[in-house]
A and B are shown apart, each in its own frame.
Chain A
């Protein structure tokens, strides 16, 4: 399935990238060549294979052994010290010391 310029424009939109004309042309070629290569995954029959959604879902005995009866993924829902307000703003391109400032959100 060949990648078209229309595809590239659509995907760039989803990715919030404003590509230049030159970038668009290059991207059509690059994506097409890479996706053509990737299509070889279809040579494999994966009808009864579960997707690997977590790295250790079915392959690690070490994790299962150690986990034992303690599930330490959870903690109490208690407030803990967090990033101070001024530090959180220190890298802001534009701020009024209270909020991050951005260009207008609502366009007419």
Chain B
């Protein structure tokens, strides 16, 4: 059985048809992970007891001839910022090195209730802060497509596991591009749903108005299947939207003929790598060939998205990370004599450099005297960015852009220059700021074989349409 070729759809069919048992599948995946993940380092923790227990349940249901849930037997990996009861969750940080959550993330609960098998937790940038997975306190992830290069971040491990075939699908989180950009760098599908489409309960918070959970898969159809399982109102997350979940599998089969697709000038300007431009423009042309209408559009405030994001995200992060104080869970400094000492030493010793930098930036932006100039200003610019999309979506049904300005860069290439690293997010942060959904679908490669992603952005709660466009791209190009 070629584990790398399995998709969510083919796995559930194979299990239902008794081609192999879930237990055998899990054994084979662990064998593959133990043999091959050393070079990639996608996984931080394996959940063997939990995985085999779930596999046993699935096998019993198959043997009895019971109706099977939609993801029965599908092995998945979970980014280590989503908590799993009984299996440690580190968020890629030393602060939570031994943290074992007493509860499960809702998205994980829903995957398991649908029959999926959680193989383990994947590596990520510390507290989801980063664009290369080089900020993990546990060591970087290597891109399976070229191990001298980064997988992207912050969900590098989840993207790499799917690309390497050590998981059939995975969950990641996206705050400024952390699902879409690694998907582009690793050559897999990465979907960021609308803000509020998927509950954030159990997602270790980075920036509460920007965080999203979403799937990495090998195919667009798999992403549609997974989204349907994890989406929907959750009483445990008051920001989760009470909007009905459509049948995305039906949606993606609709043609793109007649759809109006916007191409924003601001995403094709200076800074875009020449090879990426050629490949993305070719993919866009294929959509026109398939009957979609292309319209040039403008998103005039795009250049202000990165500074807006780095004020709002860091400000929210400074508040969300205040809880790591050594009191109730996580690392506590052994050197503290007083309470205040404990807080200050624990946090300085526990957090990595990038996390500290962002906490400092965020605290500064919120501090008395600077609040209006930075935080309030950024929130107003955020409104302007959201309105750019609102206007655009009066004219078009979806927007097409490159996912990232470059293909995967080399490990170490940008890690000394925080600002250069931040600028890698230039095409992805706008969607997080506006709360709209976005998907990255593989659309070609550079001459040296590095994957390139096409990003498709849509209206709020219109994941069906972006999946539909992505599905056509996938079929037109048949790059696999």
In the bound assembly, the distance between CA atoms of A64 and B364 in angstroms comes to 35
From known contacts A11-B364, A59-B435, A83-B103, infer whether A41 and B378 are also in contact, taking CB-CB under 8 Å.
yes
- In the complex, the answer to whether A75 meets B235 with C-beta atoms within 8 Å is yes
Measured between beta carbons, the chain B residues less than 8 angstroms from A25 are none
Which chain A residues have a beta carbon within 8 Å of chain B's beta carbons?
Answer: 7-8, 10-12, 14-20, 23, 26-27, 30-31, 33-35, 37-44, 46, 49-56, 58-63, 66-67, 70, 72-73, 75, 83, 87-88, 90-94, 100, 102-105, 107
Selected A-B contacts with CB under 8 Å, 19 pairs: A7-B364, A8-B360, A11-B363, A23-B353, A27-B357, A33-B418, A38-B310, A40-B304, A41-B304, A41-B374, A42-B377, A49-B380, A49-B384, A55-B239, A62-B241, A63-B460, A87-B102, A93-B330, A100-B327
In the bound assembly, the distance between CA atoms of A90 and B85 in angstroms comes to 12
From known contacts A8-B360, A18-B345, A59-B435, infer whether A102 and B460 are also in contact, taking CB-CB under 8 Å.
no
In the bound assembly, the distance between CA atoms of A91 and B382 in angstroms comes to 38
- In the complex, the answer to whether A59 meets B387 with C-beta atoms within 8 Å is yes
Measured between beta carbons, the chain B residues less than 8 angstroms from A51 are 376, 379-380, 382-383
- In the complex, the answer to whether B386 meets A59 with C-beta atoms within 8 Å is yes
From known contacts A12-B360, A51-B376, infer whether A34 and B347 are also in contact, taking CB-CB under 8 Å.
no
- Chain B nearest CB, measured from A67 CB (Å): 7
In the bound assembly, the distance between CA atoms of A83 and B327 in angstroms comes to 17
Q: Return the chain B residue nearest A13 by Cβ.
A: B344
In the bound assembly, the distance between CA atoms of A91 and B86 in angstroms comes to 11
In the bound assembly, the distance between CA atoms of A105 and B325 in angstroms comes to 14
Measured between beta carbons, the chain A residues less than 8 angstroms from B344 are 16-18
Measured between beta carbons, the chain A residues less than 8 angstroms from B387 are 59
In the bound assembly, the distance between CA atoms of A12 and B322 in angstroms comes to 12
Interface residues on B, range: 35 or more
In the bound assembly, the distance between CA atoms of A31 and B354 in angstroms comes to 12
Which chain B residues have a beta carbon within 8 Å of chain A's beta carbons?
Answer: 98-100, 102-103, 195-196, 209, 233, 235, 238-239, 241-244, 301, 303-304, 306-308, 310-311, 318, 322, 325-332, 336-345, 347-348, 351, 353, 356-357, 359-361, 363-364, 367, 373-374, 376-384, 386-387, 389-390, 418-419, 422, 434-435, 459-461
- In the complex, the answer to whether A55 meets B102 with C-beta atoms within 8 Å is no
Point out the residue from A8, A59, A93, A104 that lies within 8 Å of B339, measured CB to CB.
A104
Point out the residue from A37, A46, A91, A94 that lies within 8 Å of B419, measured CB to CB.
A37
Measured between beta carbons, the chain A residues less than 8 angstroms from B329 are 91-93
- In the complex, the answer to whether B418 meets A34 with C-beta atoms within 8 Å is yes
In the bound assembly, the distance between CA atoms of A27 and B331 in angstroms comes to 23
Q: Which 3 A-B pairs have the closest CB atoms?
A: A51-B379, A91-B329, A18-B344
- How many A-B contacts if CB must be within 8 Å? 187
- In the complex, the answer to whether A52 meets B307 with C-beta atoms within 8 Å is no
In the bound assembly, the distance between CA atoms of A56 and B386 in angstroms comes to 10
- Chain A nearest CB, measured from B85 CB (Å): 9
- In the complex, the answer to whether B327 meets A104 with C-beta atoms within 8 Å is no
- Chain B nearest CB, measured from A78 CB (Å): 13
- Chain B nearest CB, measured from A63 CB (Å): 6
In the bound assembly, the distance between CA atoms of A14 and B362 in angstroms comes to 11
Measured between beta carbons, the chain B residues less than 8 angstroms from A63 are 196, 241, 243, 460
Measured between beta carbons, the chain A residues less than 8 angstroms from B337 are 103
From known contacts A87-B102, A88-B102, infer whether A37 and B386 are also in contact, taking CB-CB under 8 Å.
no
- In the complex, the answer to whether A17 meets B384 with C-beta atoms within 8 Å is no
- Chain B nearest CB, measured from A5 CB (Å): 13
In the bound assembly, the distance between CA atoms of A72 and B406 in angstroms comes to 43
- In the complex, the answer to whether A46 meets B102 with C-beta atoms within 8 Å is no
